[in-house]
Structure 1
Amino acid sequence: MSTPQALDELLRQLSSRTRRDAGPAPDPRTLIDWLGRQLGAEAALVDGAGTVEAATARFPPELLGGLRPVLARLSGGQLGAAASQAGAFHVRCEALGREVPRPVLVVAGPRPLTREALALTSHAGALVEVVRRARRADGLTLRYQRAAARVRLAVLAALMTGEPTLARRMTAGAVPPLLDAERLRVHLLRCPPADRGRIIDAHEDESGYHGPGLLVRCPVYDDHLICLLPPDHDAGGADGGPAAPLRALVRDNPDYALGISAAVPLPATAQAYDQARHALAVACHTSERVADYHGRPPLAGLLPRRQAHAWAYAFLEPISAAPRLTLDITSLALHFPRSGVARLLDVSRNTVTAHLGRVQDALGLDLQDPRGRAELALALAISDLPPPGGGTVAEPPPAPSLDGLLSTEAAVTWAHAFLQPLRSGTDGAVRQTLRAWIEAGADAQRTARDLGISRTTVRARLRTAEQLLQRTLLTPGPGTHDLVHAFRIAGRAP
């Protein structure tokens, strides 16, 4: 085969392999094997440190021992090529590229290379160097993408703990446009886990962000993709970010669903995330599979402000001096399982358990019990509200009991409105199951045993309740907290 024909075949093979892989650049080993077959010789690619990167199957590694001085000069740039004989082998060495230390292509055969074989070796060596550079570029791109994903996850974690200023510092000056907005919405997409990376890559810009928004793989639930977007960009358009494409994905894929929060200030990202989770629970039961959050006002904002603040202050006082990490872990643990909190904050699960154990001991609560979690969540929600009287200093009233605080007319009205769908939408079995589920610590297996029904029936009734109440119950979070408070209030109200 002539040199032009051989080169044509090489390029065809290289092009075919690239199209077939549709991914990283081909392995240099492919080119080394091809060259060995064309020349009827053995070939190897040796890096600047003298290590064999790729070689034909029968290349004699002991051959390199006597070539060390020549390889060093070639790699260091003192020589471009060299020929020698080692025993029965005629050896040709050629340095590749210009960047020192240079890799060296070594060809060893039973006879010297012809002029055509030398030309073919040089051309193949040039392609080997191109492939090496392409693979190095692929590696750099992959590392950059992973680093960008870590930054996006860190920004999400900071926003979830109410720290937009900390989120800005994490970006080291390359601040995403989202952090310059005053408010945001959370779009929560449920999709097959394998699709998340493809969606993120399709919208990632040169800065590692997604136009005006951020797309983040949920570190807790493998089938959730979190999109944070300013409200004035979430309708789509030329610079509208990924919101419109997310809706289009849901429309075109029956396995997708999308929940969208209300617009909230950046420090309230955790609240928006919870809203998006509730909306997603609703979306999964609608034909469009897209739902916006239209929830009722939160209970914390309906309670008499001065009395509520007095109760929350007294309740939280034992952990008021706790380290910030303890408070962040505690807050996130009310939204996610402990393993999810560990992944979100990049700490061990044992660290999460230890911090929560100290909080439990200080407050005298069992945070495995949904009732204890609901009390803590309410206290934290109240403490986040603006103080009564516009921030003016006043003597706080005596701290009421929680039952006293929840006996107000506004709280009773809220509870009856919350539970109303259970009265009008079922025969009472769902309501009975929900009560038993709370008493059993939100454990479906214990609930099934207490009621004498199957665990499958319990979970089916919980899914029905999610649809009726428009709240997420099957995963930890505010949906369960609201249910606990509503039952507590309704049980004591006339």
Structure 2
Amino acid sequence: MRGRHGTPPPAGRLDELLYLVGRQAWRPDAGVEGVVDWLHRQLGTEVALVGRGHTVELSTPGFPREILPALAPVLTRLATGRMAAAATEVGAVRVRLEGVGPDSPHRVLVLAGADRLTGQQAAAASHTGHIIALLHRARAADAVFRDYQEKAHRIRVALFMALMAGDPVLARRMTTGAVPELLGADRIRVHLLRCRPGERDRITQAHQDPAGYHGRALMVRCPVYDEHLICLVAEDEHAPPELGGVLRELVAESEEYALGVSSPHPLRATAVAYEEARHALAVAGNTPGRVAGYRSQEPLERLLPRAESLAWAHALLRPLRSLPELTAETTRLALFFPRSGVAALLGISRNTVTAHLKRSEAALGLDLRDIRARAALTLALAVTTLHQDDAPADGRAPVAVPSPADPSPPVPSPTVPSPAALEPPAGDGTAAAWAAEFLAPLRDPRHQRVRDTLRTWVESNADARRTAQRLGSSRTTVAARLRTAERLLGRDLLATGSGVHNLVYAFHFSGEGPRLGRCDPAPDADRAP
């Protein structure tokens, strides 16, 4: 046996006991075997710890279990608290019994040997029983603490999801009166930290306040990506700047860490800030300091002609109206997250996610593995969200919830849209200007190969293998150029959907690359929703 820092345990009897208690107090889940073994060595008797139903929880190897039936009446009195200790004999075996702990039913420490214990030995047994009770209490307290931390995490995730849905009022209601300070902020930034999965709880708990929040911040283990820690930080004069500095220090201390920071946004625009932080994190991974802020650009949906873009979006999304709300939400999330992530967010299985996506594909007449079809669908959803107060021409909502009497309506007959139906209106040239601004970092002649690779990658449905084949290069080369493109464009192209979608829009409206019309992805396309 060796200590916590690789040193052997102390030689003295009391020192050894204190060492064992300290070691197991730090790890209450490790049990009390070490203390029981210590008592066995000191007294030369066999020892057992008997729990509920007279079940032996642990014992020394030579403990005579056959004596327990004869001890049943005494064990019952000790377990119910009618006695604190007892001494008896079962045949030639001398037995000492000690009730353990204050909670009923009590555990019972049973010592069995050939000789009766002396007064000093009986006192040692009694004190050891108290120590075992304390270790059990520490284990119970540790379990309660871990349970509390997990419940606090779930509440923080729920608040984050409400903010992602753009509903700070709902987030306030969910706190049942104990409103976190962050919900009083006018504007926030999202800091997205990439770290080791096991470090997220340590970081979160280090800055947690007694209410389970983080003052004017909110730290959440990402429910989709195990290596992401999401940090919402208030952007006002009342918010302490320490947290942002702490996150940067963590990145500076470990090369495995990276940090992406969004622009400031109103609380109801948390989803926008989070998406910006994801893009910034992808850029941070390719920069020397591994910290990056979001390179802002006006969202495309704000630049499209309002009436024409709404008419186009409602027409494209019309087939979704007959589908269950969960199907529509699953489809929306699958445009940005892998299927396993969608399943985690919605609390359903991956097979159920696949079933919902097949239903949407049948209704829309689209293959959702096609990045250009997915880009068009994403833009249509963004347009309707931006102008959600504007009803479509027929006066109906873009996506209707099915009747409770018919929770699983039949799949409607697919109406395959033409390529032109997937192309949003270009307007008066503002979309083309947006595309030129987006692609501007690639205009340098030194980046021509990166630009050509991106164009071919989009034409190949974001399939790195097919892209490499068409370019006559390796997948490693394609991946390296994509990482360069992420750094130049300030967008995540490999992990999130929106960066690829922006690239599709830019090539479409610039007129120099693939259009938003449908393409035919290979069955093994890398970018399945």
Pair in the same fold by TM > 0.5: yes
The more displaced of 188-197 and 150-159 is: 150-159
What does 1:145-164 align with in structure 2 at a 5 Å threshold? 145-164=149-168
Q: Which residue of 1 aligns with 2:89?
A: 85
The worse-fitting range, judged by mean Cα deviation, of 159-168 and 324-333 is 159-168
Deviations 1:434-486 (A, max 9, x none): 12211222111121122221111111111111111111001132110000011
Q: What is aligned with 2:195?
A: 191
Structure 1 residues 326 and 131, CA gap change in structure 2 (3 angstroms): same
Amino acid corresponding to residue 436 of structure 1 in structure 2: T
Structure 1 residues 326 and 181, CA gap change in structure 2 (3 angstroms): farther
TM superposition shift of 1:419: 1.1
Superposed counterparts of 1:16-55, under 5 Å: 17-18=23-24, 22-24=26-28, 27-55=31-59
Residue 210, structure 1, aligned to residue 175, structure 2:
no
CA RMSD of aligned residues (A): 2.5
Alignment map for 1:88-487 (pairs within 5 Å): 88-232=92-236, 236-237=240-241, 242-386=243-387, 403=423, 405-406=425-426, 408-424=428-444, 426-487=446-507
Whole-angstrom distance in 1 between the partners of 2:329 and 2:186: 22
**Cα–Cα, structure 1 residues 97 and 73, in superposed 2: closer, same or farther, change >3 Å?**
same
Q: Deviations over 1:310-335 (max 9, x none)?
A: 21122212213533322322222122
Output one character per residue of 1:86-125: Cα deviation in whole Å (capped at 9) or x when no partner: 1221011111222211111111011111111111111111
| Conserved? CA contact 1:234–1:244, under 8 Å | no
Q: Return closer, same or farther for 1:190/1:361 CA change in 2, 3 Å cut-off.
A: same
Partner amino acid, structure 1, of 2:215: G
TM-aligned CA deviation for residue 423 of structure 1: 1.6
TM-score, scaled to structure 2 = 0.84
Contact 1:235 1:244 (8 Å CA) reproduced: no
Percent of aligned positions with the same letter in both sequences?
Answer: 52
Any conservation in 1 of the 2:20–2:35 contact (CA below 8 Å)? no
Separation in structure 2 between the aligned mates of residue 211 and residue 394 of structure 1, nearest angstrom: 46
What is the Cα deviation at residue 8 of structure 1? Answer: 5.0
State yes or no: 1:10 paired with 2:41: no
Inter-partner Cα distance in structure 2 for 1:11 and 1:488? 72
* Most deviating of 278-287 and 34-43: 278-287
Alpha-carbon distance change, 327 to 163 in structure 1, aligned in 2, over 3 angstroms? farther
Residues matched between the structures, number: 478
Q: CA deviation at 1:126?
A: 0.8
- Measured in 2, the distance between the counterparts of 1:96 and 1:303 equals 74
Deviations 1:280-313 (A, max 9, x none): 1222233332222132101100111121112112
Paired position in structure 1 for 2:408: none
Q: Distance in 2 between matches of 1:34 and 1:395?
A: 81
After superposition, the Cα gap between the structure-2 partners of 1:338 and 1:158, relative to the gap in structure 1 and judged at 3 Å, is: farther
Task: Return closer, same or farther for 1:323/1:387 CA change in 2, 3 Å cut-off.
Answer: closer
**Aligned-residue offset at 1:25:** 6.5
SS, match of residue 188 in structure 2 = strand
| Residues 425, 34 of structure 1: alpha-carbon distance in 2 compared, 3 angstrom cutoff | farther
* Partners of 1:404 and 1:29 in 2: CA distance: 70
Distance, in Å, in 2 between the alignment partners of 1:41 and 1:319 is 75
Q: 1:132, 1:446 → 2: CA distance?
A: 60
Amino acid at match of 1:358: R
SS at match of 1:472: coil
For 2:174 and 2:339, locate their aligned partners in 1 and report how far apart those are by CA, in whole Å.
24
Kept after mapping to 2: 8 A contact 1:157/1:345: no
3-state SS of the aligned residue for 1:108? Answer: strand
Query: Could you tell me which amino acid in structure 1 is paired with residue 111 of structure 2?
Result: V
Q: How far is the alpha carbon of 1:27 from its aligned partner? A: 2.5
Alignment partner of 1:219: what SS?
A: coil
* Residue 355 (structure 1) shift: 1.5
Cα contact 2:371–2:501 (8 A) shared by 1: yes
Scaled by the length of structure 1, what TM-score is found?
A: 0.90
- Match for 2:151: what amino acid? A
Greater shift in the superposed pair: 175-184 or 480-489: 175-184
SS in 2 for 1:216: strand
Gap runs ≥5 in structure 2: 1-11, 396-419, 514-529
Shift of 1:207: 2.2
Distance, in Å, in 2 between the alignment partners of 1:102 and 1:445 is 65
What secondary structure is seen at the aligned counterpart in 2 of 1:276?
Answer: helix
Residue range with higher mean Cα deviation, 136-145 or 177-186:
177-186
The separation in 1 between residues aligned to 2:339 and 2:44, in whole angstroms, is 61
Question: What is the CA–CA distance in structure 2 between the aligned matches of 1:117 and 1:273, rounded to whole Å?
Answer: 64
SS in structure 2 of the partner of residue 187 of structure 1: strand
1:176-217 deviation digits (Å, cap 9, x = unpaired)? 333343432211111223322221221222222222222122
Q: Does the aligned pair in 1 maintain the 2:185–2:236 contact within 8 Å?
A: no
Q: Displacement, 1:55?
A: 1.3
Q: Answer yes or no: is the 8 Å Cα contact 2:188–2:235 preserved in 1.
A: yes
Change (3 A) 1:392 1:191: closer
Give 1 or 2: higher helix fraction: 1
**Does structure 2 conserve the Cα–Cα contact (< 8 Å) formed by 1:407 and 1:489?**
no
What are structure 1's unaligned runs of at least 5 residues?
Answer: none
Structure 1 SS opposite 2:88: strand
Match of 1:405, SS state, is coil
Alignment correspondent of 2:525: none
Structure 1 position 360, deviation (Å): 1.7
